[in-house]
């Protein structure tokens, strides 16, 4: 017989509206009802979180490693368990581990690690996000220039065949990849995100028309919005469908710029942490510098968690708490095509929930 789980907080944010004095009822990790507390026959059976907010759990679609284990350096299951634990402690129940521009061997090993992790019953990892190597060296940021190149069709097919079902997103520069290449990637059901790109406005818009649905970390490592050439940044802001991630740590992007972009893009702007970890091995030797990471003196990643991103957005008057929560939950779920099961507290959705206190600190993750 199914066992019910009942959760009550002072306020529930459903993803749409606020509910007071309500209870989330779940069975086998699926929400079966959201009802007034007064309708519960056995109030003692309810897990209560007073002076707290209950909201949909978060999803991080770009994170590279945690606790000293960068996935590209340690492509093994332990790195994924550590990464998932880091995400959980930041309120994210799902994530896309990411590997930046690297060798074929590293990509293959990372694919194998995800397969082994899933085989062991590991949770939270949706697959892999490959950021590069098919990007523009002019906008490489901290990426390794010697490994950046335009791909051949054979190269793409070989990698995607091996990573079928594991590779879920690829960041590439549309101006260095032909339509034949992007069509091939899309045929595998993989999300293409434009990033580390020097595309013109027209090249970017052509990419969107050809199936690119997302853009990677707005403003960072892309052709900027200028008055005579709006670039990739201008193209995605001047669109009505394409999503775009942003890193709200105060270092990658000024909060005023995020606020401006949010006013233009509305629900198409979502949060990633872009979080890395300290490492002295491999191509990316990330070292902590203040509250961010640098590699060879170049900004290379954040020290964010998703819950810290929520606080940053609210504390710096970028957007409302409701929108900050959606930017970390519903909108990433929409990017992944998972918004019919995640990102809302409604009947039929997963009971993947975060409990936050009044200071917007994580009290509990439910999944």
At 349, which CATH number? Answer: 2.30.40.10
| Alpha-carbon gap, residue 350 to 340, rounded angstroms | 9
- In the block, residue with structure tokens 């979180």: 49
Let me know whether 280 and 303 are in one domain. Answer: yes
**227 and 195 housed in the same domain:** yes
Same domain, 52 and 193: no
Number of domains in the chain: 2
pLDDT mean over 321-340: 98
pLDDT band at 300 (very low <50, low <70, confident <90, very high): very high
In a domain, 123, yes or no: yes
Report d(CA 228, CA 210) in Å as an integer: 24
Annotation marks residue 274 as catalytic? yes
pLDDT digits (tens, 9 = 90+) for 81-124: 999 999 999 999 999 999 999 999 999 999 999 999 999 999 99
- Share above pLDDT 90 across residues of the chain, in percent, rounded to a whole number: 97
In a domain, 340, yes or no: no
Q: What's the confidence (pLDDT) of residue 1?
A: 62
Q: pLDDT-derived band of residue 3, with 50, 70 and 90 as boundaries? A: confident
d(CA 62, CA 84): 12
Q: Are residues 43 and 186 in the same domain?
A: no
Which helix (H) or strand (E) is 288 found in, with range?
A: strand 287-289
Q: Which residue has the higher pLDDT, 367 or 329?
A: 329
* 297 occurs within a structural domain: yes
Helices (H), the chain: 77-89, 104-119, 153-162, 179-187, 201-209, 231-237, 255-265, 306-315, 321-328, 330-335
Give the model confidence (pLDDT) of 206-238 as tens digits.
999 999 999 999 999 999 999 999 999 999 999
Q: Which of 57, 133, 60, 120 is nearest to 96 (CA)?
A: 60
Q: Are residues 122 and 221 in the same domain?
A: yes
DSSP 15-40: SS-EEESEEEEEETTEEEEEEEGGG-
* pTM to 2 decimal places: 0.97
Instruction: Say if residue 73's pLDDT is above 70.
Output: yes
Query: What mean pLDDT do residues 183-203 have?
Result: 98
Place of tokens 């060296």: 137
Q: Which of 38-47, 66-75, 157-166 has the lowest mean pLDDT?
A: 38-47
CA distance 90 to 273: 10
Q: CA–CA separation, 179 vs 172, rounded Å?
A: 12
Q: Which of 60, 161, 254, 274 is catalytic?
A: 274
**331: in domain:** yes
Is 2 a residue whose pLDDT tops 80?
no
Domain hosting residue 113, numbered range: 58-335
Pair 14, 98 in one domain: no
How many Å is the maximal CA-CA distance in the chain? 66
Predicted pLDDT of residue 296: 87
Residues 80 and 156 in one domain: yes
Does 216 fall in a domain? yes
């Amino acid at each position: 017989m199914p066992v019910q789980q009942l959760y009550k907080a002072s306020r529930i944010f459903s993803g749409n509206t606020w509910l007071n004095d309500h209870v989330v009822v779940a069975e086998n990790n699926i929400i079966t009802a959201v009802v007034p507390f007064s309708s519960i026959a056995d109030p003692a059976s309810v897990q209560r979180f007073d002076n707290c907010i209950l909201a949909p759990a978060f999803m991080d679609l770009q994170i590279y490693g945690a606790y000293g284990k960068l996935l590209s350096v340690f492509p093994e299951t332990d790195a994924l368990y550590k990464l998932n634990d880091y995400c959980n402690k930041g309120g994210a129940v799902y994530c896309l581990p990411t590997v930046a521009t690297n060798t074929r061997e590293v990509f293959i090993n990372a694919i194998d690690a995800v397969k082994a992790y899933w085989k062991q019953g590991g949770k939270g990892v949706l697959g892999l996000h490959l950021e590069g190597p098919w990007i523009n060296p002019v906008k490489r940021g901290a990426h390794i220039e010697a490994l950046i190149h335009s791909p051949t069709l054979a190269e793409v097919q070989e990698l995607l065949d091996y990573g079928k079902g594991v590779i879920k997103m690829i960041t590439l520069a549309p101006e260095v990849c032909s339509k034949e290449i992007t069509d091939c990637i899309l045929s595998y059901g993989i999300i293409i995100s434009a990033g580390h790109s020097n595309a013109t406005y027209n090249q970017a818009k052509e990419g969107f028309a050809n199936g690119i649905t997302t853009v990677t970390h707005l403003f960072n490592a892309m052709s900027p919005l200028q008055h005579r050439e709006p670039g990739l940044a201008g193209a995605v802001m001047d669109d009505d469908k394409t999503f775009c991630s942003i890193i709200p740590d105060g270092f990658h992007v000024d909060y005023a710029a995020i606020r401006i972009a949010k006013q233009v893009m509305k629900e198409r702007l979502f949060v990633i942490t872009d979080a890395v970890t300290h490492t002295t091995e491999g191509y990316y030797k990330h070292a902590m510098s203040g509250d961010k990471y640098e590699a060879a003196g170049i900004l290379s990643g954040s020290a964010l968690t998703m819950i810290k991103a929520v606080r940053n957005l609210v504390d710096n008057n970028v957007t409302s708490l409701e929108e900050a929560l959606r930017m970390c939950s519903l909108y990433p779920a929409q990017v992944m095509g998972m918004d019919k099961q995640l990102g809302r507290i409604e009947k039929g959705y997963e009971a993947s929930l975060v409990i936050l206190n009044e200071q917007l600190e994580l009290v509990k993750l439910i999944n």
